[in-house]
Structure 1
Amino acid sequence: MKLAFSSNAYLRHPFDETAERIAAIGYQGLELLADVPHAWPAGLLEGPKRAIRETMARTGLQFSNVNAFMMNAVNDHRQPYWHPSFIEPDPNYRRVRIDHTRRALELCAELGAPHITTEPGGPIAPGQTRQEALDLFVEVLKPLAEHAEKVGVLLLIEPEPDLLLERTDQYVELADRVNSPALGLNFDVGHAYCMSEDLPKAIAALAPYTRHYHLEDIAATRVHHHLPPGDGAIDFAEVIAAIRKTGYDGWLTVELYPSQENPDEAARQAYNVLKPLI
């Protein structure tokens, strides 16, 4: 297994500086934020793409993932990460999320990254049943999964509290209905802990679907707020042992976007806690 850090903790820093800081701490990989200020696909010209590749080569980092979940560039007043969602009642606004995801898949392929991660549907709208929302999500995802397969990368869904798919096991029904080899699960350990999942059991059960892991700590209250490993209640020795038991040998990406005031400190603490376990 290899340890990576997400650039979404470094929203106050340009990409080249972000990569240099992450590499200096000791991480092997970097998760690229497909959003402002690092790599918003809709406005990313060839020059900035070339600069990203050159920075990765210079620092010796590899791409662990492209994070297409956040959409700060749109800056929706409700929540800049969840909206626009795949299940927005307004089809024109829903198209903004769809088009962003399509561009992120293409960017992922251009940069040679393995996959993108995205939201698990979004919040269910007032008056919308869960089944209606799920049917719409499946309808939207099928052509996106086809596009992912066409460009040669994976499209990973990340269950999250308060969204359509909250628990990791809810991913299975979606996967069965979309039925695409390009679709996979991004298992976010902190989110699963928030939902009171038994982490070792969930890791084992979802192993056939999991293509990438996000790691962050969560307080014992199980409130969804990302903390550096060591500051919450998750037993990472147990988690890493459970992941290893599945035979997974890919990326474990630390995601600490709330730590923008001192991302270096958060990244270093996470590295010091997790590296000995890996």
Structure 2
Amino acid sequence: MPADPRPAPAAAFAPPPGIRYAGIGDEAAPALADQLAAVHQLGWNAVELRTVDGRALADLDDHTFGALTEQLAVTGTDVVCVDSRIADWSRPVTGPFTLDTDELRTLARRCPALGTRYVRVMSYPDGGLTEPEWGHRVKERMTALARQAEDAGLVLLHENCAGWAGTRADRMLDLLAHVDSPALRLLFDTGNGVPYGYRSAELLADILDHVDHVHIKDALPTAPGQAAYTLPGQGAAQLSDCLGLLLRHTWRGTWSIEPHTRLRPHDGTDSRADDGPAAFVAYGRALERFVAEQVPGAATAAVPAHGGVHG
């Protein structure tokens, strides 16, 4: 893919100090070129990778992966995290553990080429087990995975999503204490509390010191366990409270958009069609403006692009 000679546009508003904006690329489009184009249209230079042409990063053949790293280099795009399927909603704790260890082994070879140490994981559906046995097996598996990640120089980021420790701060902290490894940290998704039925800001306050990465989405509840995803600030995810809390505690890192307005892998929804990149860009612009105008502590850092500040 040839380099685009045109300079990237400036971000509409600069992020707060210490914060970087990025996005999960396949929320914009299946093809990597379109994913990167959407990110760069926002004036950002960072992407989070989950799938390319519908295939998980660990499932790409070596030739395709090599072409991917070339595209990243040519376009000057950094990878901030890899979203794996390890322990996610598709893999119950009663399933084959080798699926996870093999995927992590592949990512351990590929993450150095991508320039990231972060691998998103979850903590397994119960597979029909009782809660005590579910928790026991999760801790056992996550300990082994963390040791494997530690040996490879990677950091597993457990997301507040599917799994034993997905929706409760006490279980997240219990899991971290049990595993007791620098290779297991937390990923906080602002919008997951809406379908799962908890208040996001309250959970974040309990786990804040252990959070290394943030996903941005917002949503309104529609039925038990279901949500309709919205632009930032238009939902019930307490987005302003969550981001303000991070800034008040001088948190530093990446805020990565996961709009879910066109693509929701866990329920098979994919309506990106031709407007996926445009919708992704519109979401990113909405986040920039929302942060600048409605997040406490961010306004003084949010300078319009024409003032010369770039994201």
**Scaled by the length of structure 1, what TM-score is found?**
0.82
2:127 is the alignment partner of 1:125: yes
What are structure 1's unaligned runs of at least 5 residues? 72-80
Which of the numbers 23, 26, 30 marks the counterpart of 2:47? 30
CA distance 1:39–1:199, change in 2 (3 Å): closer
CA-to-aligned-CA distance 1:125-182 (integer Å, 9 cap, x gap):
22x1111111111111222111211221210111225x32232402111111111111
Contact 2:25–2:48 (CA under 8 A) maintained in structure 1: yes
**Are residues 1:5 and 2:12 paired?**
no
Specify the code of the residue in structure 2 equivalent to 1:269. Answer: A
Is the Cα–Cα contact under 8 Å of residues 186 and 212 in structure 2 kept in the other structure?
yes
* 1:109–1:141 Cα change, 3 Å: farther
2:245 is matched with 242
Partner of 2:68: 52
SS in 1 for 2:161: coil
- 1:271 — aligned with what? 284
Q: Secondary structure at the match of 1:83?
A: coil
1:223 alignment partner, one of 226, 230, 238: 226
- Aligned partner of 2:187 in structure 1 is 186
- Report how far residue 186 of structure 1 moved: 0.8
Q: Deviations over 1:159-214 (max 9, x none)?
A: 225x3223240211111111111101111111134344443333232111111111
Map residues 99-110 of structure 1 onto 2, 5 A cutoff.
Answer: 99-110=102-113
- State how far apart, in whole Å, the 1-side matches of 2:260 and 2:104 are: 20
Q: Conserved in 2, the CA contact under 8 Å of 1:25 and 1:267?
A: no
Q: Which has the higher strand share?
A: 2
| Correspondence for 2:58 | 41
Match of 1:78 in 2: none
**2:194–2:220: 8 Å Cα contact kept in structure 1?**
no
1:62 corresponds to 2:81? no
Q: Point out where structure 2 has 5 or more consecutive residues left out of the alignment.
A: 1-18, 263-271, 292-297, 299-311
Q: Does the Cα contact within 8 Å between 2:38 and 2:278 map onto a contact in 1?
A: no
**1:16 matched to which residue of 2?**
33
Aligned residues: 260
* Residue 39 (structure 1) shift: 4.8
Query: 3-state SS of the aligned residue for 1:219?
Result: strand
Report the Cα distance in structure 1 between the residues aligned to 2:51 and 2:86, rounded to whole angstroms: 8
Amino acid at match of 1:9: E
Question: For 1:144, what is the secondary structure of its paired residue?
Answer: helix
In structure 2, relative to structure 1, the CA distance for the partners of 1:250 and 1:195 (3 Å cut) is same
CA distance in 2 between partners of 1:194 and 1:243 (Å): 22
Corresponding residue number in structure 1 for 2:117: 114
Counterpart amino acid of 1:5?
G
Q: Give identity over the alignment, percent.
A: 20
Structure with higher Rg: it is 2
Distance 1:216-1:82 versus aligned 2 partners, 3 A rule: same
Which amino acid in 2 is paired with 1:8? Answer: D
Structure 2 partner of 1:95: 98
Give the distance between the partners of 1:23 and 1:38, measured in 2 at CA.
22
Distance in 2 of aligned mates of 1:174 and 1:41:
25
CA distance in 1, matches of 2:254, 2:167: 21
Q: Which amino acid in the other structure matches residue 218 of structure 2?
A: D
C-alpha distance in 2, partners of 1:110/1:144? 21
Which secondary structure state, in structure 1, belongs to the residue aligned with residue 91 of structure 2? coil
CA contact (8 A) 2:26 2:51 kept: no
How far is 1:56 from its partner?
Answer: 1.8
Q: Which has the higher contact order (CA 8 A, sep 6+)?
A: 2
1:84 counterpart letter in structure 2: R
CA distance in structure 2 between the partners assigned to 1:18 and 1:104 by the alignment: 20
Stretch moving more, 228-237 or 20-29 = 228-237
